[in-house]
Amino acid sequence: MAGVTKQDVEYIAQLAQLTLDEEAKERLVGELTNILTYVDKLGELDTSDTPPMMHALQMTNVFREDVTEPSLSREEALENAPEHDGEYFLVPRILDTE
């Protein structure tokens, strides 16, 4: 079932928000096909009675009291932003209102 096409690579790159040049696309067709062909060995396993494992430990939901605790100040939270105005993160305009 493995056998990744160039169209597949373009589609998942779009989902993953990555842009690839032609050379990278060609390379990834081969690499991903190779890896997924290896992964296909999982098909040999009979898992019809096996539940999927979500977590390594049997843990139930972890709750805490809904109380406000100290957290980062606005200044600290904005410190690493590539662009901000002291109050908000800035991004290019989304809606064309002109």
Site for another protein, rule CB under 8 A: 1, 4, 8-9, 11-13, 15-20, 24, 28, 31-32, 34-36, 38-43, 45, 47, 50-57, 59, 62, 64, 72, 76-77, 79-83, 89, 91-94
Beta strands in 1-98 (DSSP E): none
Beta strands in 39-83 (DSSP E): none
Distance of CA 76 to the CA centre of its chain: 26
Residue 31 contacts residue 20 (beta carbons within 8 Å) = no
Rounded to the nearest 5°, which phi and psi values hold at 60? -95, 175
C-alpha span between 33 and 12 (Å, rounded): 14
